Amino acid sequence: MACIAIVGVGAIGGALAGLLETAGRHELTLCTRRPIEALTVHTPQGVVQVKAQNVTDPTAAPAVDWVIVATKTYDSEGAAKWFPALCANGARVAVVQNGVEHRERFAPWVRSDRLLPVVIDCPTERRPDGTVMVRGDTLMKVEDNQLGQEFTRLFAASPAKILLVDDFTSAAWWKLCINSVGALCAITLQPDRVLWGEAMTCIAMEMVAECVRVARAEGAQLDDTMPDQVMALCRAHPADSVNSLLADRLAGRPMETDARNGAIVRKGETHGIPTPMNRMAVALLQAMENSAL
């Protein structure tokens, strides 16, 4: 058994809480801004009622063995306010967030040897009534080291699949390639079916191609078929699938533009690689976000 705190109980955090509850041998703490009376997670295997203590004051949080950060990337500083209490006994911190900058984002607050970046693929959404709907299987990828192996054991009795990978850089950039085209859904305010038309498919594939070029400069091993792979995955989703960037825009919440397409642009600049499609997407999303303020 392990004492585990989840910081950020949105769609992903709720899904992870449901998986850990299914494992059936952990003591869970949900760290949230507002009180949660109950957490119900609907999964392909059935309905899970999460049994956990809920803490809303970072100074009152208990010391735990593991902290799982599932906040939005732009709320990393807010998540770090929980660390002094939660990590009082040297807890390990798993960062389950979008993008490729997990370590850079949390370097000011977590020692590198205690931080584990996690890439997750989990089709889930937080409903208006506070319940979490998980629509498919959960796959996570972590580094094949001691921390990664310990993290994997936390979910051993759950339906989650966790891959221990030697090349986490490639795994993170592979996911960012997929996430990059979600900007087109957020811009058009349409679900995945907007990507199926010929014109939008061409734009999406060029966005992925830019991401691949930057990823390779960062040391990732991605091949030239990546744009085709991403579009095949998009067409395999239900036509009405809503990615998190679009969901945030529809709900009037801040978007993770900087951690997704913004990271492609910024790291492209570092290597002298042009990223005009992703740059345009960032500019449009930022302008839309600013006009809503």
| Helix intervals (H) in the chain | 11-23, 76-80, 83-86, 102-106, 146-154, 168-180, 182-188, 198-217, 226-236, 244-250, 263-271, 276-291
Sequence spans of domains, the chain: 3-166, 169-291
State residue 94's pLDDT score: 98
CATH topology of domain 169-291: N-(1-d-carboxylethyl)-l-norvaline Dehydrogenase; domain 2 (1.10.1040)
The percentage of residues in the chain with a pLDDT greater than 70, rounded to a whole number, is: 99
Dump pLDDT digits (tens) for 93-111. Answer: 999 999 999 999 999 999 9
**3-166: which CATH architecture?**
3-Layer(aba) Sandwich (3.40)
Position 88 pLDDT exceeds 90: yes
DSSP 59: G
Dump pLDDT digits (tens) for 183-219. Answer: 999 999 999 999 999 999 999 999 999 999 999 999 9
Residue 158's Cα: distance from chain center in Å?
Answer: 19
| Catalytically active residues, by annotation | 175
State residue 293's pLDDT score: 56
State residue 147's pLDDT score: 97
Dump pLDDT digits (tens) for 254-274. Answer: 999 999 999 999 999 999 999
88 and 78 in contact (C-beta within 8 Å)?
no
